[in-house]
Amino acid sequence: METVPESHRYLLDAQFATLATVGPDGRPQLSEVWFLVLEAGVGISLSTARQKTKNLLRRPECSLLILDVANPFKYLELRGDAEIEPDDDFAFAERVGAKYGADLRAYDAPEDKRVVVRIRPVRVNAVDMGG
């Protein structure tokens, strides 16, 4: 993610990001997600039972905002299309869980599957409204 300017690169170490998807009614939907920084973007582990996952399968256009929670004037917005792959052995969920010291499947029902959602930004907005 060489497109993220130096001034905002520390935000890639943040713990949470806000993911925006578009629902079947055309309305954006927001939720907080955990993420991993990958070579060419950001990776998220999602349960297929979640509405945001269904939204992305139908409409991959999405956006991710990483806020500086200590200074909310500063944030990074990454816009891109979700590339979705099965994570049937939960290998990626475990990678994300290792970052957070958490078991992601504890949030799921036993029958839920997980997918890897990769977002390669097509546009990066590095904002500092306090500047």
> Which residues make up the interface to a copy of itself (CB under 8 A)?
15-16, 18, 20-22, 25-32, 59, 61-65, 67, 69-70, 72-73, 75, 77, 79, 107, 127, 129
- CA–CA separation, 19 and 33 (whole Å): 7
CB 85 within 8 A of CB 50: no
C-beta closer to a copy of itself: residue 33 or 38: 33
Q: Read off the amino acid at residue 85.
A: E
C-beta closer to a copy of itself: residue 70 or 89: 70
Q: How far is the CB of 20 from a copy of itself (least distance, A)?
A: 4
C-beta closer to a copy of itself: residue 3 or 86: 3
CB 40 within 8 A of CB 1: yes
Q: How far is the CB of 80 from a copy of itself (least distance, A)?
A: 9
Of 124, 123, 115, 120, nearest to 52 by C-alpha is 115
Q: How far is the CB of 112 from a copy of itself (least distance, A)?
A: 16
CB 117 within 8 A of CB 83: yes
